[in-house]
């Protein structure tokens, strides 16, 4: 893609938008950026862009701004159906995302991983597995480092491991991973996609440009993934924690096995995993399959898995205070992720729920909450909806309307006894009260750390 001298509009000034704008400007494009946020909200991003001669539009998306372009690059958070974008497409202006822009320049072997849950853990772990095999490996995408920033650092033999969201897949045209993976597909982002079928269709686009020489790794225990695996071009390998598969990874007699037709390789005992929860076993199985496809030696895969620690904000242990353990699962931004978090603890959970609703049905949590949760603390914009759906089906459970995360943590701290679990697994996005799930998770850890320090000080005072 030759952008020199072309007029290019970048819509959305998140990480990928800023990175795209700087990349395009460095290649001679005449770049404009547009974001509906105010100049004050974008004060940290604007100076860098202006210093490079990039035109910045804030507080609106002007119709003329979209009309006078040769190419438009949108950030994942920008709805593909936005009227200005639809009008631009009707006028023949190409509209792509940052992942598609990256695909036209990136060298190396691309591994792309999507799914409703587990993407970040599996992407990070897969990067560790590939790196353990001695390959130069870059890890990014939706995980936090925009893929476009890797262009200057890749060579044909390198591996680029990318977490890819449904929003990013909406805008691909030529993006083609050599290895793709769909970990699971459960209802999420219905506020954006409208229906589960539309959401699933966006996920399935990860296979769209793959060839018969490429590979797709799919969850054999997920009905939607099983349906996705039919009729696609790449060679399909499966992973399953419930049953053997002919091609792929599975668990048998406590061992993680990789099978390629009649040939089986024992990778490691499942108990050697340091990650907590059955959902993480699925993540490991997917990473094992991708590592074996990439030709990594089983012993090196085993070492990478054994040494891997939980990713920040993903069922992350924070502290123990007066015998109660505190876990940060701020990345549990949908109901299915919260289910997986609850399944990781047998009982005595103080559960913090709430944030920005994504069109979710919270009643599916009722059985696990009834079995394992002592008290629910609701926060944020979705609090009223959560309580309206769960209170009628859980009449005996104690609900505490806390409003803010800090209040919820402090109230849980006051109630938790030795042996209890205080769990942030909100089942919602963070954008009502926070800039990101990372910011929400950091606040959780900061408040818990302060409570732990206060408790420790109190113990010292009684010594």
- List the CATH number of the domain containing 85: 3.40.50.720
Sign (positive or negative) of CA dihedral 230, 181, 434, 342:
positive
Same domain for 198 and 122: yes
Q: Could you tell me what percentage of the chain is helix, strand and coil, using 3-state DSSP and rounding each to the nearest 5?
A: 40, 25, 40
pLDDT of residue 81: 86
pTM > 0.95: no
**Res. 462 pLDDT band, cuts 50 70 90:** very low
Please check whether residue 1 lies inside any domain of the structure.
no
Q: Note the pLDDT of residue 346.
A: 87
Residue 31 lies in a domain: yes
Residue in this structure with the two tokens 């850890």, named with its chain if needed: 445
Residue 132 CA to residue 270 CA, distance in Å, equals 19
Mean model confidence pLDDT for the chain: 93
E-assigned strands of 172-303? 179-182, 215-219, 235-240, 247-252, 255-260, 263-269
In a domain, 369, yes or no: yes
* Residue among 412, 347, 343 nearest 376 (CA): 412
Q: Decide which of 60, 93, 126 is a domain's last residue.
A: 93
Say which DSSP state 105 is in.
T
At 377, which helix (H) or strand (E)?
A: strand 373-379
Q: 82 and 13 in one domain?
A: yes
Query: Do both 302 and 321 map to the same domain?
Result: no
Q: Is the pLDDT of residue 401 over 50?
A: yes
Known catalytic residues are 119, 142, 189
- The pLDDT value recorded for residue 30 is 97
- Residue 208 is predicted with a pLDDT of 96
List b or e across 275-298, with b for residues whose CB sees 16 or more CB atoms inside 10 angstroms.
bbbebbbbbbbbbbbbbbbbebeb
Q: Are 443 and 434 in contact (CB under 8 A)?
A: yes
CA atoms within 13 A on the CB side of 221: 17
Q: Express each pLDDT in 19-77 by its tens digit.
A: 999 999 999 999 999 999 898 888 888 999 999 999 999 998 888 899 889 999 999 88
Q: For residue 58, is it within any domain?
A: yes
Cα dihedral sign, 91-97-98-101: negative
Residue 320's Cβ-side half-sphere holds a number of Cα atoms within 13 Å equal to 5
User: What is residue 64's predicted lDDT score, i.e. its pLDDT?
Assistant: 86
Q: Give the pLDDT confidence score for residue 189 in this predicted structure.
A: 67
Pair 164, 255 in one domain: yes
* 69, 93, 117 - which closes a domain: 93
What does DSSP assign to residue 356?
Answer: B
Q: How many CB atoms lie within 10 A of CB 224?
A: 20
Residues 262, 362, single domain; the answer is no
- Residue finishing a domain among 279, 307, 335: 307
Domain assignment of residue 148, yes or no: yes
Say what the pLDDT of residue 221 is: 96
Question: How high is the pLDDT of residue 463?
Answer: 42
Residue 45 lies in a domain: yes
pLDDT in tens, 189-228: 667 777 989 999 999 999 999 999 999 999 999 999 999 9
Helix ranges (H only) for 91-210 are 98-103, 119-132, 166-169, 190-193, 196-204
Domain shared by 277 and 344, yes or no? no
Pair 288, 322 in one domain: no
Is residue 375 within 8 Å of residue 350, measured between CB atoms?
A: yes
Find the domain containing 348 and state its range. Answer: 316-461
- Pair (86, 123) in one structural domain: no
Do 20 and 149 lie in one domain? The reply is no
Tell whether 84 and 160 lie within a shared domain: no
Query: Looking at the structure, do residues 183 and 75 belong to the same domain, yes or no?
Result: no
On the 0-12 / 13-18 / 19+ scale of CB atoms within 10 A, 242 is exposed
Residue 301 inside a domain? The answer is: yes
Q: List the CATH number of the domain containing 426.
A: 3.90.190.20
105: Cα within 13 Å, side-chain hemisphere: 20
Query: What is the SS3 assignment for 112?
Result: strand
Number of domains in the chain: 3
CA 116 to chain centre: 8
What is residue 288's predicted lDDT score, i.e. its pLDDT?
98
CA distance 282 to 413: 32
Cα(454)–Cα(463) distance, integer angstroms: 15
Model confidence pLDDT, tens digit, residues 247-306: 999 999 999 999 998 899 999 999 998 887 788 899 999 999 999 999 999 999 999 999
Q: Is residue 236 domain-resident? A: yes
114 in the same domain as 20 = no
First to last CA, the chain: 69
């Amino acid at each position: 893609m030759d952008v020199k001298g072309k007029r290019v509009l970048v819509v959305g000034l998140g990480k990928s938008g800023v990175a795209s704008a700087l990349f395009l400007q460095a290649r001679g494009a005449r770049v404009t950026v547009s974001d509906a946020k105010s100049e004050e909200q974008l004060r940290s991003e604007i100076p860098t862009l202006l210093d490079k001669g990039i035109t910045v539009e804030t507080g609106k998306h002007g119709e003329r701004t979209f009309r006078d372009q040769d190419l438009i690059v949108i950030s994942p958070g920008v709805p593909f159906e936005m009227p200005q974008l639809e009008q631009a497409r009707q006028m023949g202006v190409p509209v792509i995302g940052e992942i598609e822009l990256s695909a036209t320049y990136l060298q190396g072997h691309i591994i792309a991983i999507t799914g409703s849950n587990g993407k970040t853990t599996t992407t990070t772990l897969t990067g560790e597995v590939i790196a353990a095999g001695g390959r130069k490996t870059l890890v990014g995408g939706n995980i936090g480092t925009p893929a476009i920033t890797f262009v200057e650092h890749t060579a044909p033999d390198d591996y680029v491991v990318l977490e890819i969201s449904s929003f990013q897949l909406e805008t691909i045209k030529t993006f083609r991973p050599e290895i793709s993976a769909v970990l699971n597909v459960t209802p999420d982002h219905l506020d954006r996609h409208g229906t589960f079928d539309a959401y699933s269709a966006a996920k399935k686009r990860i296979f769209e440009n793959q060839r018969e020489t490429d590979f797709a790794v799919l969850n054999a225990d997920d009905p939607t993934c099983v349906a996705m695996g039919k009729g696609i071009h790449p060679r399909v390998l499966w992973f399953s924690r419930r049953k053997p598969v002919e091609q792929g990874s599975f668990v048998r007699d406590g061992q993680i096995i990789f099978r390629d037709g009649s040939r089986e390789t024992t990778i490691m005992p499942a108990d050697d995993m340091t990650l907590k929860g059955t959902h993480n076993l699925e993540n490991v199985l997917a990473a094992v399959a991708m590592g074996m496809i990439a030709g990594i030696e089983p012993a090196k895969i085993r070492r990478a898995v054994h040494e891997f620690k939980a990713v920040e904000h993903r069922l992350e242990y924070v502290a123990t205070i007066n015998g109660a353990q505190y876990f940060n699962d701020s990345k549990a931004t949908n109901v299915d992720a919260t289910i997986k978090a609850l399944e990781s603890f047998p009982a005595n959970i103080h559960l913090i729920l709430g944030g920005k609703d994504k069109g979710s049905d919270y009643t599916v949590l009722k059985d696990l909450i009834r079995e394992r949760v002592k008290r629910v603390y609701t926060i944020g914009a979705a609090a009223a909806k959560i309580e309206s759906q769960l209170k009628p089906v859980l009449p005996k459970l104690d609900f505490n309307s806390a409003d803010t995360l800090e209040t919820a943590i402090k109230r849980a701290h006051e109630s938790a006894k030795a042996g209890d679990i205080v769990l942030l697994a909100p089942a919602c996005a963070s954008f009502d009260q926070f800039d990101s799930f990372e910011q929400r998770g950091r606040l959780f850890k900061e408040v818990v750390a302060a409570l732990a320090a206060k408790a420790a000080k109190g113990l010292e005072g009684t010594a």
